Amino acid sequence: MLRNILVACLLMSIAVLTYAQDSRHFQFQYAFTVKNLPADAKVRVWIPVARSGAFQDVTIVSARGDLHMMRTHEQTYGNQMLYAEASSVGQSELGFNIEYDVVRRERRGLAENDPHALKTNLTSQERQRDLGPNILMPTSGLPAELAAMITRGKTDPLQKARAIYDYVFSTMRYDKSGTGWGRGDVLYACSAKKGNCTDFHSLFISMARSEGIPARFEIGFPLPSDKHSAEIAGYHCWSDFYTDGRGWIPVDISEAWLNPNKRDYFFGSLDVNRIEFTLGRDLRLNPPQAGKPLNYFIYPYVEVNGQKYSNVSLDFSFRDIDSNRAQTK
* 105 neighbors 23 (Cβ within 8 angstroms): yes
pTM of the model: 0.90
Per-residue model confidence as pLDDT tens digits over 254-264: 999 999 999 99
* 165 neighbors 207 (Cβ within 8 angstroms): no
Give the per-residue pLDDT at 6: 38
Instruction: Tell me if the domain spanning 25-103+290-320 has CATH number 2.60.40.2250.
Output: yes
Q: Where are the domains of the chain?
A: 25-103+290-320, 108-271
Q: Name the amino acid, one letter, at 42.
A: K
> Same CATH topology for 25-103+290-320 and 108-271?
no
Question: Which architecture, in CATH terms, is 108-271?
Answer: Roll (3.10)
Per-residue model confidence as pLDDT tens digits over 159-213: 999 999 999 999 999 999 999 999 999 999 999 999 999 999 999 999 999 999 9
Cβ atoms within 10 A of the Cβ of 121, count?
10
